[in-house]
Amino acid sequence: MTNISKALRERLQRSYLLSRPDVLKDLVSMDGTTKFLLGLSDQARIETVLIPEKDYYTLCLSTQVGCAVGCLFCSTGRMGFKRNLSAGEIAAQILVARDYLRRRGLDAGRLTNIVLMGMGEPLLNWKEVRRAILMITDSLGLGFSRRRVTLSTVGIRDRLQEFGRSRLGMLAVSLHAPDQELRRRIMPGAAAWDVKDLVLALENYPLAPRERITIEYVLLKGINDSPAQARDFVRLLSGVKCKVNLLACNPSDEDDFQPPGQKDILSFEDVLRSKGMTVFLRKSKGQDIRAACGQLKAEVEKKDIS
């Protein structure tokens, strides 16, 4: 194998080995959330975030370097798309987190939940993401339960149904708007699939009897947080077997988006609950270390340039 090119050797390594990426930086929040900036073999950088829950840890994995969807309120979306991660690069982020926990005398076995919710759109890298999930859930691999693996997507036509048929994990859909016009404005790359057609696909998505789709909705002050928009949101999802995660946006120096006030957040939540929806109001974690998707990478690279 010594006579093959360096580029090919690096490609083979990314695709078939769970070699640990370099930890370029790790930051620990006051709430215990840890964000890692990782360096890959081609000098590309990605992030992964370790989130402490009451009695377990969740790890948020990246699937691409950058993202092509271009959500305006997301630091990764403003980077643009660089390249897909290989299955090995995706799964190896778990090794980084496990090593980190062991070095601190913590139980790495408490890392039980995986969310493909970091940098990138997983279904735009479906071939490698599928291979990564197989590595993650196989008993001879990393051994996670498929019920504790969640894939978060804006909704990619055809690949959404393929993921559903695969039964490889749970589904979360980033909606963030109750209508197509607003979704096109704040999530331009997601608007190729009309939101009503996306919701129809969700109504027909294959679910086991006790399973539900998670709908993610990031609240943006003055943009998608009014009671009227909450009522439109309820009507839009009336036929979907789902639960809703509400989260106020993480403010960034690079955009004008701000989180709503607590009163407006609770008013939005109250409308959903009054209509019978199951709602979880998620506390934004790691704000003091810029733990939202892409923020640390953007900050470090901005300093590199300056």
Which residues are part of the catalytic machinery?
47, 293
CA dihedral over 67, 280, 196, 218, signed as positive or negative: negative
- Show the beta-strand stretches assigned E in the chain: 22-28, 34-39, 45-52, 57-60, 64-66, 81-84, 111-116, 149-153, 170-174, 213-219, 242-248, 279-282
For 122, counting Cβ atoms within 10 Å of its Cβ (0-12 exposed, 13-18 middle, 19+ buried), the class is buried
64 CB neighbour count, 10 Å cutoff: 27
Phi and psi at residue 199, in whole multiples of 5°? -65, -40
7 CB neighbour count, 10 Å cutoff: 9
Buried b (16+ CB within 10 A) or exposed e, 85-110: bbbbbbbbbbebbbebbeeeeeebee
Phi and psi at residue 175, in whole multiples of 5°? -100, -60
Give the SS3 label for residue 116: strand
Residue 209 neighbours by CB under 8 Å, 6+ apart: none
CA distances from 128 to 103, 121, 122, 292 (A): 29, 12, 9, 24
Q: Which of 247, 244, 195, 188 is nearest to 220 (CA)?
A: 247
Q: Which of 97, 21, 87, 29 is nearest to 59 (CA)?
A: 97
> Whole-angstrom Cα distance, residue 168 to residue 146?
6
